[in-house]
């Protein structure tokens, strides 16, 4: 049984624009996310997946409702408060990696822990080495993003996310720019960090092939939750951390 709740959304709405330009991107979403699970959020283009991920991650404000992450309410918080909650709880992985092109793989992974004072110089070096090793890229630590394949760049982006030790890892189309086999490797990596490290990993996609690896599949349709299914990933279990 998954017992530890990482995040809860209650009756969350998100409205963009007004008048004729008004778009109701989320129309009353209720969801709960647990430690140790890989959740896939599936839905057609424009159904509200990215919006859902961004309000859950506190990079966009919900219009109404409640979003609790790591015990903290996000709705109504200031930008500074949201930044602190994000820093302490979560990390993002994006479709196009968002690595800094002028920094090496190791420097890209190091920058956030360094800026947030996550340890001494030698502790940071160890943290970076462990993160790159966990994604199988020890031998690429001195490469710049432009010197790596798409799959390798995404693995660096995952290492960068893991180095901050997030409880919640939010991934928007993380395999969208990769071929099938490479995408599968990236998903296996995400599955393994959920399973082994007890993180909650949320993957947004419109590719139903990805859902086969999930513990839970949440279907989004026109801003509403259309269904939640147990995935084929593995049975739910107890996590302790």
Ligand X SMILES: Nc1ncnc2c1ncn2[C@@H]1O[C@H](COP(=O)(O)OP(=O)(O)OP(=O)(O)O)[C@@H](O)[C@H]1O
Q: Which residues bind ligand X (CB under 6 A)?
A: 16-17, 23, 25, 43, 45-51, 206
Instruction: Name the binder of 203 from Mg ion, ligand X, none, CB < 5-8 A by kind.
Output: none
> Of residues 35-54, which lie at the interface with Mg ion (CB under 5 A)?
50
Q: How far apart, in whole angstroms, are the C-alpha atoms of residue 211 and residue 38? A: 10
* Residues 6+ away with beta carbon under 8 Å from 194: 36, 37, 38, 169, 200, 201, 215
Q: Least distance in Å: CB of 9 to Mg ion?
A: 17
Residue 4 in contact with residue 64, Cβ under 8 Å? no
Residue with tokens 């031998």: 139
Half-sphere exposure (CA, 13 Å, Cβ side) for 83? 5
Q: Least distance in Å: CB of 154 to ligand X?
A: 17
Instruction: Name the binder of 175 from ligand X, Mg ion, none, CB < 5-8 A by kind.
Output: none
Q: Least distance in Å: CB of 181 to ligand X?
A: 22
Q: Which is nearer to ligand X, 50 or 164 (CB)?
A: 50
Instruction: Name the binder of 154 from Mg ion, ligand X, none, CB < 5-8 A by kind.
Output: none
Instruction: Name the binder of 71 from Mg ion, ligand X, none, CB < 5-8 A by kind.
Output: none
Q: How far apart, in whole angstroms, are the C-alpha atoms of residue 225 and residue 9? A: 12
* 205 contacts Mg ion (rule: CB under 5 A): no
Q: Least distance in Å: CB of 96 to ligand X?
A: 12
Q: Which is nearer to Mg ion, 118 or 206 (CB)?
A: 206
Q: Which is nearer to ligand X, 13 or 185 (CB)?
A: 13
- The two beta strands, 64-69 and 38-42, are unpaired
Residue 167 in contact with residue 199, Cβ under 8 Å? yes
Instruction: Name the binder of 171 from ligand X, Mg ion, none, CB < 5-8 A by kind.
Output: none
Q: Least distance in Å: CB of 94 to Mg ion?
A: 10
> Of residues 47-106, which lie at the interface with Mg ion (CB under 5 A)?
50
Q: Which is nearer to ligand X, 47 or 104 (CB)?
A: 47
Q: Which is nearer to ligand X, 204 or 213 (CB)?
A: 204
Q: Which is nearer to ligand X, 41 or 158 (CB)?
A: 41
Instruction: Name the binder of 17 from ligand X, Mg ion, none, CB < 5-8 A by kind.
Output: ligand X
Which residues bind to Mg ion, rule: CB under 5 A?
50
């Amino acid at each position: 049984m998954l017992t530890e709740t990482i995040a809860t959304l209650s009756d969350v709405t998100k409205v963009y624009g007004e008048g004729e330009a008004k778009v109701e991107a989320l129309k009353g979403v209720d969801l709960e996310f647990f430690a140790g699970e890989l959740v896939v959020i599936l839905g057609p283009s424009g159904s509200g997946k990215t919006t859902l991920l961004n309000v859950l991650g506190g990079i966009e404000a919900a219009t109404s409702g409640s979003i609790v992450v790591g015990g903290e309410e996000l709705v109504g918080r200031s930008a500074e408060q949201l930044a602190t909650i994000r820093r302490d709880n979560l990390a993002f992985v994006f479709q196009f990696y968002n690595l800094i092109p002028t920094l090496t793989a190791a420097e890209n992974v190091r920058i956030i822990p360094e800026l947030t004072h996550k340890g001494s110089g030698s502790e940071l070096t160890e943290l970076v080495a462990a993160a790159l090793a966990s994604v199988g890229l020890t031998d690429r630590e001195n490469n710049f993003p432009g010197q790596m394949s798409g799959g390798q760049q995404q693995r660096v982006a995952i290492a960068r996310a893991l180095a901050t030790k997030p409880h919640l890892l939010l991934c928007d189309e993380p395999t969208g720019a990769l071929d099938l086999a490479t995408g599968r490797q990236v998903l296996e990596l995400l599955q393994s960090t959920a399973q082994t490290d007890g993180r909650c990993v949320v993957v947004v996609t419109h590719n139903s092939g990805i859902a086969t690896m999930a513990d839970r599949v949440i279907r989004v349709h026109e801003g509403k939750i259309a269904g939640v299914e147990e995935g084929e990933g593995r049975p739910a279990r107890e996590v302790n951390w």
